[in-house]
Amino acid sequence: MGRLRVGIVGYGNLGRGVEMAIRQNPDVELVCILTRRQPASVSSAVEVAHVSDAAKYQGKVDVMILCGGSATDLPEQGPQFASLFNTVDSFDTHAKIPDYFAQVDAAAKQSGHASVISTGWDPGLFSLNRLLADSVLPEGKEYTFWGKGVSQGHSDAIRRVKGVKNGIQYTIPHESAVSKVRAGENPELSTRDKHLRECFIVAEEGADRAAIEREIKTMPNYFSDYETVVHFIDEQEMQRNHSAMPHGGLVFRSGKTGESSTQIIEFGLKLDSNPEFTASVLVAYARAIARYAAEGFKGAKTVFDIPFAYLSAKSGDQLRSEML
Amino acid sequence: MGRLRVGIVGYGNLGRGVEMAIRQNPDVELVCILTRRQPASVSSAVEVAHVSDAAKYQGKVDVMILCGGSATDLPEQGPQFASLFNTVDSFDTHAKIPDYFAQVDAAAKQSGHASVISTGWDPGLFSLNRLLADSVLPEGKEYTFWGKGVSQGHSDAIRRVKGVKNGIQYTIPHESAVSKVRAGENPELSTRDKHLRECFIVAEEGADRAAIEREIKTMPNYFSDYETVVHFIDEQEMQRNHSAMPHGGLVFRSGKTGESSTQIIEFGLKLDSNPEFTASVLVAYARAIARYAAEGFKGAKTVFDIPFAYLSAKSGDQLRSEML
């Protein structure tokens, strides 16, 4: 196999992350970037074209990496691109995955392409660990903690509070809850037991800070049932310390075997950049789906259907001698 | 598919663990136990036969789970059983895996069976996480910590010291080393930087405890280069607190993406019972290799070649809607 030729569809944070990830994978080559903006407005070392011109890259691109959002972009682009190319995406609306899978699968089967949906880390690597742990420890309890990371929905909510100029919200796992799970105590924990919410606020001049804090902490659904911490900072500090997109989390399975042995499987991510990490996962799965396409597979797969050997540029011999 | 019919070859701690794990998997049925002991000396609810009578179970067993040791049992039994049955094992001599794979692969291909070798957790789940993380973060550094768990070799070494009646040695990750890796510091760490050694000793009556402690702590290769802690206990405490077989460990990959984002992937196991956990992994891979056999695959695989969907009793639809 020569170098894997990929295209990027959608050039936001995720698309730029994919461009950077490709530089770390010498067996992968970026051929083009497709955007909904004016192509001339995007500066890149590779060809930039409008998404509506996608078809002209057939035969020039082995896999299209779809970097649009799950709310409106992917439900349309997923099936559409699967009828022209092999694709990989990080569709992450958990509840809609079965429908989305069916649509991409149908489009890919009809056009004779291969697609892998919902890669990334949740869904994606977290799902893989949930399935592995569930298969190995059928009697057990699963715990997922998210963060420390920015919740877009909660950040939007605090920015709507009167007197708030700018704001960001981090979801943070409660150390005490994590410790209980790690200790094998199998606690009953709701999402709110597992997480605390930390807000950084830039207040408008003269705003009533006590009122802002009260309104945030009592906001139904978003904050009222959580332990919430509010910090007031200035705009400079906001730009300096809160522009990154960190995220991560923990997936546990706490199981029992034999008479009463406690067995704990833990998987964790600590990410300085959520989009760059998701992009790195997309590139590894692009390699995998290209191999399935080369073998003649037609249709859609998920991360559950793909052995890890397909993700690596290394040969089976190499993997067995170096990594097993 | 009806229930998966399995046999156990070798009825030590691991074999008994498999028997217990099967009880947690309603789609799996234990058909027989093969042992090198007198079959009549083994009490079990299922048929017990001598290993030399294995052939009479052809057609009655879908997968033989090989529970012998890697030093002398499996090098012989792996290829031998692969010429009669589909097999799964936990062969764990890392350096000899390529040879062992080739032999089992040849035997299985010739007889038309399917085998998966070197499941368990290291090799096994740890290897899977090393490969996944290496594929996603090509620029990075991998760290494996083992423990807290019993090292058989080091326990044997301390039991050979003059004046030692009984002894056990635990390998324990250094918290400070783990913290540095978790913090993304990418330290240079040798095996000895990563682990400390804790010994529990029952001394013979009148033995010189100071001399025992000195001899252990200065023992070349085994202890002299490590931080070693020695405790003297009595035989009752040894039986009460040190009869279990706990183990575990941590696999990290600390990588960089983009300009300089640190991305950390962590996988950890905390096991009350090492053999029961390994047994649980064997049973999940027995399910997987039976599916490959049913699809017509002939030869050997490793954990790298098997997608996680094959490990689960759940359907693809179920997995996509419940676990992705």
pLDDT above 70 (res B1) = no
Asked if B263 has any chain A CB less than 8 Å from its own CB, the reply is: yes
CB atoms within 10 A of CB B171: 21
Structure token digits, residue B230: 């020695």
User: Reduced to 3 states, what is the DSSP secondary structure of residue B225?
Assistant: coil
Half-sphere exposure of A119 (CA within 13 A, CB side): 34
3-state DSSP assignment of residue B271: strand
In whole angstroms, give the CA distance from residue B145 to residue A125: 21
CB atoms within 10 A of CB A80: 19
**Alpha-carbon gap, residue A34 to A52, rounded angstroms:** 8
What's the alpha-carbon Rg for chain A, to the nearest Å? 22
Taking the CA atoms of residue B87, residue B17, residue B7 and residue B121 in that order, the dihedral angle to the nearest 10 degrees is -10
Q: What is the pLDDT of residue A310?
A: 98
Residue in A137, A273, A284 nearest the CB of B261:
A273
Q: Residues B204, B234: contact at Cβ < 8 Å?
A: no
- Is the CB of residue A149 less than 8 Å away from at least one CB of chain B? no
Instruction: Return the closest-CA partner of residue A31 out of A54, A13, A12.
Output: A54
What tokens does A251 get? Answer: 């997936």
Using CA coordinates, name the residue in chain A closest to B268. Answer: A266
Cα(B303)–Cα(B305) distance, rounded to whole angstroms? 5
Dihedral sign for Cα A224, A230, A236, A241, please: negative
* Cα B118–Cα B278–Cα B300 angle in degrees, nearest 5: 25
Which residues have C-beta within 8 Å of that of residue B266, sequence separation ≥ 6? A266, A267, A268, A269, A270, B182, B250, B251, B252
Whether B136 sits inside 8 A of A311 (CB atoms) is: yes
**Which of B204-218 are b and which e, b meaning 16 or more Cβ less than 10 Å from the residue's Cβ?**
eeebeeeebbebbbe
CA distance A259 to A69: 47
Tokens 């936990």 — which residue? B90
A265 at B interface, C-beta within 8 A: yes
Number of A:B CB contacts under 8 A? Answer: 213
Answer whether residue B168 shows pLDDT above 90: yes
pLDDT digits 0-9 by tens, B259-310: 999 999 999 999 999 999 999 999 999 999 999 999 999 999 999 999 999 9
pLDDT tens digit string along B96-151? 999 999 999 999 999 999 999 999 999 999 999 999 999 999 999 999 999 999 98
Q: Which of B94, B282, B323 to substitute to test the interface with A, most A CBs within 10 Å?
A: B323
B320–A304 C-beta distance less than 8 A: yes
| Among B308, B310, B314, the residue to mutate for chain A (most A Cβ within 10 A) | B308
Query: How close does chain B come to A268, measured CA to CA in Å?
Result: 5
For chain B, say whether A135 makes contact (Cβ under 8 Å): yes
B140's enclosing H/E stretch is: strand B140-146
* pLDDT on residue A1: 56
Pairwise CA distance, residues B230 & B210, whole Å: 10
Encoded amino acid at B78, one letter: G
**Token pair for residue A9?**
């569809």
Which A positions 104-133 lie with beta carbon below 8 A of chain B? 118, 123, 125, 127-132
| Closest chain B CA to residue A23 | B258
Asked if the model's pLDDT at residue B247 lies above 80, the reply is: yes
Q: Which residues of B touch A312 (CB under 8 A)?
A: 131, 134-135
Q: Backbone phi, then psi, for A181, in 5-degree steps?
A: -65, -45
Give the pLDDT confidence of A263-282 residue by residue, as tens digits.
999 999 999 999 999 999 99
The answer to whether A149 touches A185, Cβ cutoff 8 Å, is: no
Written in H, E and C, the secondary structure of chain A is CCCEEEEEECCCHHHHHHHHHHHCCCCEEEEEEEECCCHHHCCCCCEEEEHHHHHHHCCCCCEEEECCCCCCHHHHHHHHHHCCCEEECCCCCHHHHHHHHHHHHHHHHHHCCEEECCCCECCEHHHHHHHHHHHHCCCEEEEEEECCEECHHHHHHHHCCCCEEEEEEEEEECHHHHHHHHCCCCCCCCHHHHEEEEEEEEECCCCCHHHHHHHHHCCCCCCCCCCEEEEECCHHHHHHHCCCCCEEEEEEEEEEECCCEEEEEEEEEEECCHHHHHHHHHHHHHHHHHHHHHCCCCEEECHHHCCHHHHCCCCHHHHHHHCC
Q: Are A57 and A318 in contact (CB under 8 A)?
A: no
The answer to whether the CB of A129 falls within 8 A of the CB of A267 is yes
* Sites in chain A below the pLDDT cut of 50: none
Rounded to an integer, what distance in angstroms lies between the CA atom of residue A32 and that of residue A58? 12
Residue B24 is nearest to which of A138, A266, A308, comparing CB atoms?
A138
CB spacing of B305 vs A307 below 8 angstroms: yes
Please name the residue of chain A whose CA is at the shortest distance from the CA of residue B250. Answer: A266
Of chain B residues 208-227, which have a CB less than 8 A from chain A?
none
Whether the CB of B315 is below 8 Å from some CB of chain A: the reply is: no
Q: Which of B131, B269, B323 sits opposite A323 (nearest CB)?
A: B131
Q: Enumerate residues 6+ apart whose C-beta is below 8 A from A193.
A: A174, A177, A187
Residue (of B133, B62, B17) closest to B291 by Cα position: B62
Q: Calculate the alpha carbon distances from B279 to A94, A287, B88, B283 in Å.
A: 32, 33, 11, 6
Write the ipTM: 0.95
Cβ burial of A190 (10 Å; 0-12, 13-18, 19+) is exposed
Cβ within 8 Å, pair B268-A271: no
DSSP B313: S
- Taking a contact as any Cβ pair under 8 Å apart, which residues of chain A between 34 and 73 contact chain B? none
Between B244 and B50, the higher pLDDT residue: B50
- Sheet (strand A228-232) strand order: A149-150, A164-173, A195-203, A228-232
Residue type, A227: E
Nearest CB to A270; choose among B264, B268, B306: B264
Residue B102 contacts residue B47 (beta carbons within 8 Å): no
Higher pLDDT, B6 or B152: B6
The residue type of B26 is P
Tokens 């972009």 locate to A73
Classify residue B124 by its DSSP letter: B
Q: How far is Cα A176 from Cα A290, in angstroms, rounded to an integer?
A: 44
Continuous segment of H or E residues that includes residue B243: none
Strand partners, A168: A200
**Quick check: pTM over 0.80?**
yes
**Residue with the two structure tokens 């080369």:** A294
| Token pair belonging to A192 | 């709110």
pLDDT in tens, B176-193: 999 999 999 999 998 889
Neighbouring residues of A104: CB distance < 8 A, sequence distance ≥ 6: A78, A79, A82, A87, A115, A117, A300
Q: Residue A244: its pLDDT value, please?
A: 87
DSSP alpha helices (H): ranges in chain B? 13-23, 73-82, 97-111, 125-136, 152-159, 175-182, 191-194, 209-217, 235-241, 274-294, 316-322
Residue B121 DSSP one-character state: B
